[in-house]
Structure 1
């Protein structure tokens, strides 16, 4: 304990001073010796610290987004060196160094709070031991020792003995019940926060070491808090429970308003945005316009959630503009209402048997048409000749036709296959055929 005090002595006095200032305010409302005055002072200290850490939290969000942007490259490295784990780790570290990304950035808020945590722990431990610390004098020390939260003194712990708890004016049963409830709530809030991050705000289609790290933290942190919690004073448990609830609410806000691309949270956010645009026919905030602008700029690189959003806009009769606004589009309305039906329908492909049947029918029709066309000219020619063929058959011998000329009224000889139509050139005498 003395080692911790020496390490964090530079912040012990400021922490004790902040607690005293808040106690002065709440003591005037609830009474200086009540647990509400001292408990709310600790809660207010947590809120003040977390407000100061907001810039660090923003940096953490940006680093997380960089990690998400590196997911495709990390997956490619995994596939390329899947049989060489050492080379895979080296390439991952090289990628982190080139892009300036820190995979442990999610731990930064916890690391930044650690000095305040140890300072508060030492302050409350000093109160339990009856020692003055920082700006807490004897009168404030007596007031803090009399303060109880639901029957448990601020300086009592789950592992305290009956005599020590009795010296603080409480019973061991009350202390253990209150501390056990607070430890469970503290661990559950930590687990829920990490689980919410893994299920809703992470692109689960890409498996990377970062994903495994987050999944491991989801189970390890609650266990660590549960084990360490039995040695924490009630005041420190109030501190950690408050900071976990703050983190959970802060995480909910980020997931709802700035989700990770490709995650379930992004799908829900874009569906809400689509509904808002459909109802109001415009994009009503600058942040939403920036989201649509980023989606339009991606082009073919959009993920499934973003493509579904653009399709929904088109069906609603809107077209997303490069500046993040939306505009009515008659083309989009036509395509959404009847565009596919107006397209040219492709003929249905027939089966082989049906194609053969249709071909046979076409052949019969063509042959009948050709027969009619050939018989019609010969009948007309017979009529013009005055029926000489009939007279020759009945009355006398017909004139012999000269060689090489077709007989009168006879059908013209059809050309053979592969032979051109019309009068054929006479063959050379030397030809055998």
Structure 2
């Protein structure tokens, strides 16, 4: 970890400068050597970084949704060109280009945070070793080494030896209890963030391997953080726990205000929107109007949840407009009432016994037809007898009946072959 952190040493100066500026602010309130001053400085560093990364987070959401929509097409390409990997890759890149999707966009926030994360780790490792780094001079270094969060020094780790912990002025028990609690909270926040994404903000109508992959990551990521967390200093655990809580809150906002089409969250959102329109008779708020505008623009491509919302408006006598507003419409109400009418039921399939009994009754109800059938049968029988009475050609055995004719021959008496064909 120290080797990786040293690769990002070029950014340790700006990171240490930001921490010192926040420490000056909080030190005036809580005291320079307190854990509150240094801990809140790290928390403020996280908040500042995450605010700067909001555009990347928006791009991540769009990329993730596009990937979910493209999963059926991607699966079809894989099955069609499963024996030609090069053609498969070309078709995938063509699909990404046509839809404007970048698979790496979903990883941008994590990749953008990595330099700051490792730079902070490098700064805290230097504090634990008693070395000045960046803008942290000797007085600030002594102040940081004295700062404790619930009895654990900022630079202490779960796996530190008792001698190293005592050198930082703390007990091994306090350090391990505090770090263990923070590791559990960090892993739990990561699990909850991924879980609410899978259970609420995924299109349930699309069953693809991508969903199974995300479900596996829901359990794998917390385990990875738990294993790595025992080697993180307390200050880094504060950083990572803060960024997980920020991600969880940011995602909850997105799920509630801009859910994925076809997801459980969209159903809940449109139900709340319908209640709001029922109470006020109009769509309030630019975000809500934009939602209605997108649903109207879809036309026949709406999913079941969106069609249910439009039907709910129609039952209120309202029609959604292209600009996202709603207006009163008697036609919409009539269409809703017509759509809610009971559908014509298909006749039930009868059993074999009932069909046979029905056929027998039909035959009994039409005696004339039965007589006609009997007379037809008798005429056919008479004609067959006449054909049997005709003299048969000599030298040819009697054929008996038409059932004994060979396959491919006409039934009844055969026409004699022409002498040239004998």
TM over 0.5: yes
1:228 shift after superposition:
0.8
- For the 8 Å contact 2:165–2:172, the answer to whether it is kept is yes
SS in 2 for 1:70: helix
Rounded Cα–Cα distance in structure 1 between residues aligned with 2:218 and 2:22: 34
For residues 345 and 230 of structure 1, do their structure 2 counterparts lie closer, same or farther at Cα, with a shift above 3 Å needed? closer
- For the 8 Å contact 2:32–2:143, the answer to whether it is kept is yes
Asked if residue 119 in structure 1 is aligned to residue 147 in structure 2, the reply is no
Cα deviation 1:76-101 (Å, max 9, x = unaligned): 43564578888656643442244342
**Alignment match, 1:182:** 182
**Alignment match, 1:274:** 274
- For the 8 Å contact 2:155–2:233, the answer to whether it is kept is yes
Give 1:27-426 correspondences, 5 Å limit: 27-77=27-77, 80=80, 91-336=91-336
1:344 shift after superposition:
11
Rounded Cα–Cα distance in structure 2 between residues aligned with 1:108 and 1:344: 54
- For the 8 Å contact 2:68–2:210, the answer to whether it is kept is no
For residues 30 and 335 of structure 1, do their structure 2 counterparts lie closer, same or farther at Cα, with a shift above 3 Å needed? same
1:261 shift after superposition:
1.0
For residues 74 and 133 of structure 1, do their structure 2 counterparts lie closer, same or farther at Cα, with a shift above 3 Å needed? same
- For the 8 Å contact 2:311–2:336, the answer to whether it is kept is no
Rounded Cα–Cα distance in structure 2 between residues aligned with 1:286 and 1:137: 50
Rounded Cα–Cα distance in structure 2 between residues aligned with 1:208 and 1:346: 35
What is the alpha-carbon root mean square deviation over aligned residues? 3.2
Deviates more, 1:153-162 or 1:330-339: 330-339
1:295 shift after superposition:
1.0
For residues 209 and 9 of structure 1, do their structure 2 counterparts lie closer, same or farther at Cα, with a shift above 3 Å needed? same
- For the 8 Å contact 2:5–2:121, the answer to whether it is kept is no
TM-score normalised per structure 1:
0.75
1:147 shift after superposition:
0.6
Cα deviation 1:356-398 (Å, max 9, x = unaligned): 89xx8xxxxxxxxxxxxxxxxxxxxxxxxxxxxxxxxxxxxxx
- For the 8 Å contact 1:103–1:210, the answer to whether it is kept is no
Deviates more, 1:95-104 or 1:28-37: 95-104
Deviates more, 1:97-106 or 1:302-311: 97-106
Extract unaligned runs of 5+ from structure 1: 361-433
- For the 8 Å contact 1:74–1:208, the answer to whether it is kept is no
- For the 8 Å contact 1:259–1:266, the answer to whether it is kept is yes
Rounded Cα–Cα distance in structure 2 between residues aligned with 1:286 and 1:108: 28
Rounded Cα–Cα distance in structure 1 between residues aligned with 2:120 and 2:340: 68
1:3 shift after superposition:
4.4
SS in 2 for 1:104: helix
Cα deviation 1:169-210 (Å, max 9, x = unaligned): 111011001100100110111111111111111113223343
Number of equivalences:
361
